[in-house]
């Protein structure tokens, strides 16, 4: 029930932010503009989706594939026995078939070959049929017994490619979240800068009144010139503060427009705000189990593990057992030759072993050691990412609660300063105090307003950062 209250409170805060006067720009509308106009955000989305879509690319190696071959050969080299071998041999061959490798390592190949051979110049006694067709329908199976034992190397390659693709996808997703968080901070920065300018303008106006009040008192010999000098210095201070506030507003506006892909310095829209009391009740955004950059590190670790497996398999001796069965047909007519290939009258059977072994074991050992170290480094990096994620979330949670407490104090201080100012203005109307005292209280109230605004902005910036952990965006 308590969690539901937090959710409703958060939803109400977002609704208040989105439902303002006509023409005001809400945070969600601004973030939509950022998604549409920020080329980095758009590129990240495309790259992330693209990487996710190619995560299953490794499975393609286990898909069946078609092969075909055509060959035309004329052999006119000198022969040792012209009567038997002739002076010229023409051979044409056409073959096609399907081959597939399974995740268990078994490779199957089914193919058909039709060849035509013609021997010219041979003695008819030795070669009674110098021209004819030969057909072969064959199936071959091979199974690795050492390297790629029952498909371990190919599966490792598949899993490595998948992990690399997912690591890239999660990395782009995290980069996109960070860009949106930066855009949200830019929105809050401009809002704070505009409010600060308004307060500093009022503060400058009050300082001018205070300077004029002291100038009149000096002219009438009711005050010392030191009071005038002090008010002049204070006035210059307020002018400097206003200039700094205006410069900050301009810089914030440039950052605001840069985030949404606009090359201009001015922001015409008015920005909507969340009420202070709602900010104080704003719950922390929900947290995902793993942040996207941590997920990326996890997949990088998986890719390193699979890469080490591939490296170990790659340099092992290759030992394969294979077997083939071929149906043969041969005749002067192509149709008859092809017909015979579908009969078992003239089969060819074969079984055997294939062995290939590397000799430079010393260099291979160093390569394997390097892959093992990279695997260990990826594991350490992943554990560090988990540690940093938990520490940062805990730090942000503590900072959020501390900022909320400071916001309550700042709001109370602003209320007190406002009441104090109103009371002093009432006293001035009854002749019980001086204009100088009222002006000083107005400055105190302006300072309290600025502090209150900064506390609100701090809370919203913390929640913007917390959204990168996989919660509400």
How is the chain split into domains, by residue range? 2-37+167-300+376-469, 64-158+319-365
Residues 6+ positions from 23 with CB-CB distance below 8 Å: 269, 270
Question: Is the CB of residue 58 less than 8 Å from the CB of residue 165?
Answer: no
* Per-residue pLDDT at 409: 93
Q: Bridge partners of 326?
A: 138, 348
For the segment(s) 2-37+167-300+376-469, the CATH number from 1.10.3720.10, 1.20.1600.10, 3.30.70.2860, 3.30.70.1290 is 1.20.1600.10
Cα–Cα distance measured from residue 19 to residue 274, given in angstroms and rounded to the nearest whole number: 10
Cα–Cα distance measured from residue 413 to residue 407, given in angstroms and rounded to the nearest whole number: 10
CA-to-CA separations, 400 to 12, 150, 183, in angstroms, rounded: 19, 54, 20
Q: Bridge partners of 110?
A: 98, 139
Residues 6+ positions from 110 with CB-CB distance below 8 Å: 97, 98, 99, 138, 139
* Per-residue pLDDT at 8: 39
Strand pairing category for 318-331 and 270-271:
unpaired
Q: Bridge partners of 96?
A: 68, 112
Cα–Cα distance measured from residue 102 to residue 357, given in angstroms and rounded to the nearest whole number: 23
* Per-residue pLDDT at 30: 93
The string over 71-98, giving b where at least 16 C-beta atoms fall within 10 Å of a residue's C-beta and e elsewhere, is eeeeeeeebeeeeebbeebeeebebebe
Cα–Cα distance measured from residue 131 to residue 449, given in angstroms and rounded to the nearest whole number: 104
* Per-residue pLDDT at 448: 93
The dihedrals phi and psi of 44, each to the nearest 5 degrees, come to: -65, -40
* Per-residue pLDDT at 23: 62
Burial class (CB in 10 A: 0-12, 13-18, 19+), 209: middle
What is the mean pLDDT of each successive set of 10 residues along the chain, which is 473 residues long?
42 43 78 93 90 89 94 88 83 95 94 92 79 93 93 92 93 91 91 91 88 86 82 89 94 94 91 83 85 91 89 87 94 87 91 88 76 86 91 93 92 94 84 79 89 91 88 45
* Per-residue pLDDT at 4: 40
């Amino acid at each position: 029930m308590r969690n539901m209250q937090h959710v409703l409170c958060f939803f109400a805060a977002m609704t208040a932010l989105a439902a303002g006067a006509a023409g005001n720009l809400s945070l969600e509308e601004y973030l939509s503009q950022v998604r549409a106009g920020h080329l980095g955000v758009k590129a990240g989305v495309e790259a992330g989706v693209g990487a996710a879509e190619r995560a299953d690319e490794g499975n393609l190696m286990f898909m069946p594939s078609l092969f075909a071959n055509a060959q035309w050969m004329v052999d006119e080299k000198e022969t040792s026995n012209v009567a038997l071998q002739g002076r010229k041999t023409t051979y044409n061959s056409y073959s096609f078939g399907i081959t597939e490798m399974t995740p268990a390592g078994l490779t199957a190949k089914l193919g058909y070959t039709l060849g035509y051979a013609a021997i010219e110049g041979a003695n008819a006694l030795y070669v009674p049929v110098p021209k004819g067709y030969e057909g072969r329908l064959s199936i071959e199976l091979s199974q690795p017994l050492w390297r790629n034992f029952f498909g371990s190397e190919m599966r490792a390659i598949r899993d490595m490619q998948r992990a690399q693709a997912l690591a890239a996808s999660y990395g782009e997703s995290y980069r996109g979240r960070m860009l949106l968080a930066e855009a949200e901070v830019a929105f809050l920065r401009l809002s704070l800068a505009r409010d600060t300018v308004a307060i500093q303008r009022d503060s400058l106006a009050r300082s001018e009144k205070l300077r004029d009040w002291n100038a009149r008192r000096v002219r009438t010999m009711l005050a010392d010139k030191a009071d005038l000098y002090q008010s002049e210095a204070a006035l210059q201070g307020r002018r400097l503060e206003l200039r700094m506030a205006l410069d900050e507003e301009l810089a914030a506006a440039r950052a605001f427009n840069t985030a949404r892909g606009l090359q201009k310095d001015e922001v015409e829209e008015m920005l909507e705000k969340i009420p202070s009391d709602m900010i104080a009740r704003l719950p922390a955004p929900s947290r995902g189990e793993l942040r996207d950059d941590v997920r990326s590190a996890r997949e990088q670790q998986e890719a390193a593990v699979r890469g080490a497996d591939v490296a170990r398999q790659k340099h092992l001796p290759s030992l394969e057992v294979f077997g083939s069965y071929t149906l043969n047909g041969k005749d002067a007519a192509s149709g008859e030759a092809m017909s015979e290939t579908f009969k078992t009258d003239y089969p060819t059977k074969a079984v055997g072993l294939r062995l290939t072994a590397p000799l430079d074991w010393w260099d291979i050992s160093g390569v394997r050691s390097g892959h093992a170290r990279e695997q260990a480094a990826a594991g350490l990096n992943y554990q560090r990412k988990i540690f940093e994620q938990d520490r940062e979330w805990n730090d942000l949670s503590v900072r959020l609660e501390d900022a909320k407490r400071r916001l309550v104090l700042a709001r109370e201080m602003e209320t007190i300063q406002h009441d104090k100012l109103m009371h002093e203005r009432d006293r001035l109307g009854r002749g019980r105090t001086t204009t100088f005292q009222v002006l000083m209280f107005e400055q105190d109230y302006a300072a309290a307003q600025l502090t209150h605004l900064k506390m609100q902005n701090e809370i919203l910036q913390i929640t913007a950062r917390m959204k990168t952990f996989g919660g509400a965006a």
